[in-house]
Amino acid sequence: MLYYAITFLVIALIAAVFGFGGIASASAGIAQILFFVFIALFVISLIARAVRG
């Protein structure tokens, strides 16, 4: 999941350098959503592991 977030971030940066604003903003939005999903799943797994012992 984090790999995909970083991939979309790199795509957004490359698109921004070449002047493709629409593609850059869409890729940055997708990267942001994937990053927050990754963080949420990571926190949930930490809590589940702490509850199990």
pLDDT given at position 2: 82
pTM greater than the 0.75 cutoff: yes
Q: Are 5 and 29 in contact (CB under 8 A)?
A: no
3-49 confidence digits (pLDDT tens): 988 898 899 999 999 988 888 889 889 999 999 999 999 999 999 99
pLDDT given at position 43: 96
Which residues, including other chains, have CB under 8 Å from residue 27's CB and lie 6 or more apart?
8, 9, 11, 12, 15
Torsion of CA 15, 21, 13, 42, to 10 degrees: -120
Residue 1 pLDDT more than 80?
A: no
Q: What Cα–Cα distance (Å) separates residue 7 from each residue in 14, 35, 53?
A: 11, 11, 35
Distance CA 19, CA 52 (A): 50
